[in-house]
Amino acid sequence: PRILILGAPGAGKGTQSAKITEEFDVEHITTGDALRANKDMDISDMDTEYDTPREYMDRGELVPDEVVNAIVDEALSQADGFVLDGYPRNLEQAEELEDMTDLDVVLYLDVSEDELVHRLTGRRLDPETDEIYHVEYNPPEDPEVEERLVQRDDDTEETVKERLRVFRENTEPVIEYYDEKGTLERVEGEQSPDEVWEDVRATIEDAA
């Protein structure tokens, strides 16, 4: 299936996408990960304000559409089934996506803002496996793993606030856009990861 997963920063898009790729044998296309892997790419010839994705990401701002659209277009052209995570983040990107592919299901993970801040500031990543953890909600069992965990550069309190502001301003209209089209499947994101997963899986199975 062709799955789009929408949600605010920290809503659990990455966590649920990992389960989706396993269960439904689809590719995880994520603009955030793709940009993090190319943070210092020179984009100065693209008529952008800053010269690298890093400059935008560390401020919590959106990387210019031109850069992100190209990443998604390329990834989609090579994928059969996919779960798309982190895109579209504004209405211009939503229109671009319309031209690139059809979607079978559009999920929206609904989580309150207080909870989002708590999830993001407590998130930790395993640099060896890319596994997503949380200091309280989902700590690793293995002390060796715990020792090597790192925090994402943009998970500081200040940047988190800006990311949430950018979400409200640019991405909430995208959610309304799919809602008005009648394709948005709202999932209660403020349950345990396993409970969210039950709802996500059922929604995809119903749609596919």
Q: Which residues participate in catalysis according to the annotation? A: 13, 89, 123, 152, 163
Q: Which is nearer to Zn ion, 58 or 143 (CB)?
A: 58
CB of 35 to ligand AP5, least distance (A): 5
Grouping H, G, I as helix, E, B as strand and the rest as coil, residue 68 is helix
Q: Which does 96 bind (CB under 5 to 8 A by kind): ligand AP5, Zn ion, none?
A: none
CA angle 74, 120, 122 (to 5 degrees): 130
96 marked as binding residue:
no
Q: Is 133 in the site for ligand AP5 (CB under 6 A)?
A: yes
83 marked as binding residue:
no
DSSP-derived secondary structure for 92-142: HHHHHHHHH---SEEEEEE--HHHHHHHHHTEEE-TTT--EEETTTB--S-
Q: Is 189 in the site for Zn ion (CB under 5 A)?
A: no
For residue 188, what is the DSSP state? E
Residues in 6-45 at the binding interface with Zn ion, rule: CB under 5 A = 13-14
Q: Is 114 left (phi over 0), alpha (psi -120 to 50) or beta?
A: alpha
**Nearest alpha-carbon partner for 33 in 82, 81, 84, 80:** 84
Compose the 147-186 pattern: x for residues touching ligand AP5 by CB under 6 A, - for all others: -------x--------x-----------------------
Q: Which does 204 bind (CB under 5 to 8 A by kind): Zn ion, ligand AP5, none?
A: none
CB of 85 to Zn ion, least distance (A): 6
Q: Where does this chain bind Zn ion (CB under 5 A)?
A: 13-14
